[in-house]
Amino acid sequence: MTQSNAASLDQRLMDISEKVLCVALFASLVMRLGPTLLSNPVNGFPILSDALIVTFILSRRPSGTPLRLQGWALALCATLLPLLIRPGGHALVAPLAAAVVGLTGLSVNLWSKLTLRRSFGLAPANRGVVQSGPYSLVRHPMYLGYILTEVSFLLNNPNIWNVSVFAIALGCQVARMRAEEQVLSLDSDYAAMLTRVRFRLVPGLF
């Protein structure tokens, strides 16, 4: 087997692994949160958000560049860790307040994914540079949507397990952003975009 064939095989294996893990963990998330939805409808936001992830992963276009193992592992952790959340704890805010945060996050998430369409992917790779919609405002709006959805759930289900899961996932998400930008900055279109869109998540802050 040639080196290029081996690299192609590795990339296919990573792609299959992503899909299998995402579907399996999403199913387990639905099983944990599903029974709580009648009494706690806000818990439906993570299900909706992660259903979008699974849908777009299964329909994305192949990467135009080889996937790097380190970036792939970071992306996988950032994406899969939030699927381990558990219901429980006494809500810190009124359900309506948590629902507003969750709906905002879900809306940003959906807008970002519809803008990316089949350019969506987990691992840092160039699947086409997108500069329209929310990507004209910040460089990683989809991750902002994830964070808002996670905050909504955490406000409604505060416990040590969920805090720990989201804290680790957030660290992986920040590292993932940097890894993505390192890969995409090799593209002249994205390099030009970096000068126009200065902030990663929140204009004026980060």
Q: What is the DSSP string of 148-205?
A: HHHHHHHHHS--HHHHHHHHHHHHHHHHHHHHHHHHHTTSHHHHHHHHH---SSSTTT
pLDDT digits (tens, 9 = 90+) for 64-84: 555 677 888 888 899 999 999
Q: What does the pLDDT read at residue 67?
A: 62
**Whole-number pLDDT of residue 154:** 97
The stretch 124-145 carries a mean pLDDT of: 90
User: Amino acid identity of 190?
Assistant: Y
- C-alpha 60, offset from chain centre: 14
Q: What is the mean pLDDT of residues 152-179?
A: 96
Give 167-182 pLDDT, tens digit per residue: 999 999 999 999 889 8
Separation between Cα atoms, residue 165 and residue 180, nearest integer Å: 22
Query: Model pTM greater than 0.85?
Result: yes
Least confident of 87-91, 141-145, 182-186: 182-186
Q: What's the pLDDT band for 17 if we cut at 50, 70, 90?
A: confident
pLDDT at 66: 59
Q: Over the stretch 21-30, which tens digit does the pLDDT of each residue have?
A: 999 999 999 9
Q: Domains, the chain, ranges and CATH?
A: 3-196 (1.20.120)
Any residues with CB less than 8 A from the CB of 183 and at least 6 apart, and which?
65, 68, 71, 124, 125, 126
pLDDT of residue 184 exceeding 60, the answer is yes
